[in-house]
């Protein structure tokens, strides 16, 4: 029997700057939660099961220096120095959270904090990033530093509850997994770190991370809740259906989503085969329609701005966009210069939807994956093949608590979210603007293992409905 309780949470996505999802209300809830753990009469081990920090969306969030490639073509992102810069930005933005964690360890010498990296904080594989974070949390205390543990393996079996299997779950998601050449790069002896063509060490960039860095971060800057639609497969269906049909979504979203999907369709690094393809006019017609509906003065000003940014317009804009190759080029150009579309307001008649025009979007196998079901199947196999009583995961942001008798639980996320389904009324794109954040619900959950049974119990700490 253990005198220490195991508390598991995941997917906090604490970041910094304009893309940060940890708003003041969520921060206050997290600080309160950790403070309540500090006041417990019995000791606890708090396990943050992946995506504690969101380096991918932390400031600085956009820089051409973030992307590189290895000599054999492996996509790479942050250097160790870049990750340290992002960590400092996060710590400055959320000092109260780190102070609460410091107090958790200080309140009892028997308390523990275990941090497991997820796909958004793979940066914790950098030694100096772990050292900096440990110094921030321990406050310079040798005792506290011994109470803090980083688990750089795929799974964690708590010493006092060895029949509990804790895993973030991203390795079962083909978009966000860290497999290179069929081999897992997610362990102390096999970290997701490679050398680029300039001889500099960088983190491996999975498809999901590159998707964010190249495309979604730029769209998220205008629509801060664009990435709060979970899971990822549903996000793709919504934005494929809503942005690529003329008049269905804002032009900035149409260009960004077209560019995202075009990129994903060409990517086969970790998920070989056809991932995604677009219809013949998948998105380009939205741009042509947008320009056609401008007034002459608006069109002349838009053309002037395009030329000023470097687009070689060799004919009037409407004629330029009638040529398929030039139209394609204009879409790619605008995808790299989304700020040119900031001046154009959202059409309030443009709605997000799960059902698009037939043939607008075709998703290949990797993007039709139901991430929640994939993790459930993985948990079933773990329970069958290993001597464990329960499997606890995160990653999908979707709560799974009705499978506890079967031995699986997912605590969901500590973020606001929006899970659109066909039963809901259509919502306008403007709901994704920053001033709409109060419309987004959240449910902050934790899983606790304690007592003689050693079986997990699912608890909601705080909840807010939309």
Please give the DSSP secondary-structure letter assigned to residue 396: S
d(CA 102, CA 16): 20
Provide the β-strand partners of residue 183.
180
Query: Which two tokens mark 77?
Result: 């992102």
For residue 332, with 0-12 CB atoms within 10 Å meaning exposed, 13-18 middle and 19 or more buried, which class applies?
middle
Query: How big is the CA angle at 170 (ends 252 and 121), to the nearest 5 degrees?
Result: 75
DSSP 339: G
pLDDT band at 31 (very low <50, low <70, confident <90, very high): very high
pLDDT of residue 258: 73
Q: Which residues contact 430 (CB under 8 A, 6 or more apart)?
A: 346, 348, 436
Tell me: the pLDDT tens digits for 206-241?
988 887 887 777 666 666 666 665 555 556 655 655
Residue 278 has pLDDT above 70, yes or no: no
Q: How far apart are CA 205 and CA 200, in angstroms?
A: 15
Q: What is the pLDDT of residues 132-188, one digit of tens each?
A: 999 999 988 888 889 999 999 999 999 999 899 999 999 998 888 999 999 999 999
* Other beta carbons less than 10 A from residue 416's beta carbon: 21
> Is the separation of the CB atoms in 408 and 394 below 8 Å?
no
DSSP-based helix, strand, coil % in the chain, nearest 5: 40, 15, 40
Nearest to 351 by CA among 242, 439, 256: 242
Nearest-CA neighbor of 233 among 175, 150, 157, 303?
175
């Amino acid at each position: 029997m253990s005198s220490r309780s195991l508390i598991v949470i995941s997917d906090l996505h604490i970041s910094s700057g304009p893309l940060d999802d940890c708003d003041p209300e969520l921060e206050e809830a997290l600080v309160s939660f950790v403070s309540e753990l500090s006041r417990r009469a019995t000791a606890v081990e708090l396990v943050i099961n992946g995506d504690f920090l969101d380096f991918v969306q932390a400031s600085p969030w956009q820089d051409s220096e973030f992307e590189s490639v290895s000599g054999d073509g492996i996509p790479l992102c942050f250097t160790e120095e870049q990750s340290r810069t992002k960590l400092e930005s996060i710590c400055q933005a959320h000092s109260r959270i780190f102070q609460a964690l410091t107090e958790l360890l200080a309140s009892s010498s028997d308390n523990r904090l275990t941090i497991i990296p997820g796909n958004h904080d793979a940066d914790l594989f950098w030694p100096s990033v772990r050292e900096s974070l440990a110094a921030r949390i321990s406050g310079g205390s040798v005792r506290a530093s011994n109470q803090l543990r980083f688990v750089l393996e795929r799974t964690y079996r708590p010493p006092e509850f060895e029949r509990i299997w804790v895993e973030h779950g991203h390795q079962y998601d083909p978009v966000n997994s860290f497999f290179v050449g069929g081999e897992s790069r997610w362990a102390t002896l096999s970290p997701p770190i490679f050398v680029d063509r300039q001889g500099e060490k960088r983190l491996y960039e999975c498809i999901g991370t590159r998707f964010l860095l190249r495309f979604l971060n730029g769209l998220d800057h205008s629509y801060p809740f664009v990435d709060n639609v979970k899971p990822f497969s549903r996000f793709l269906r919504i934005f494929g259906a809503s942005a690529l049909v003329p008049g269905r979504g804002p032009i900035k979203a149409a260009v960004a989503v077209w560019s995202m999907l075009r990129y994903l369709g060409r990517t086969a690094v970790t998920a070989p085969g056809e991932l995604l393809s677009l219809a013949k006019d998948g998105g380009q017609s939205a741009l042509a329609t947008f320009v056609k509906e401008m007034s002459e003065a608006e069109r002349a000003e838009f053309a002037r701005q395009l030329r000023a940014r470097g687009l070689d317009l060799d004919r009037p804009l409407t004629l330029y966009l009638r040529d398929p190759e030039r139209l394609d080029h204009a879409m790619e150009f605008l995808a790299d210069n989304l700020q040119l579309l900031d001046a154009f307001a959202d059409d309030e008649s443009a709605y997000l939807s799960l059902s698009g025009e037939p043939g607008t979007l075709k998703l290949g196998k990797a993007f039709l994956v139901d991430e929640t079901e994939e993790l459930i199947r993985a948990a079933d196999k773990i329970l069958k093949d290993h001597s464990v009583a329960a499997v606890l995961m995160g990653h999908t942001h979707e709560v799974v608590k009705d499978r506890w008798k079967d031995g699986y639980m997912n605590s969901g996320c500590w973020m606001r979210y929006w899970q659109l389904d066909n039963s809901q009324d259509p919502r306008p794109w403007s709901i994704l603007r920053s001033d709409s954040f109060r419309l987004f619900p959240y449910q902050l959950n934790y899983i606790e293992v304690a007592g003689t049974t050693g079986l997990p119990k699912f608890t909601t700490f705080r909840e807010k409905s939309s």
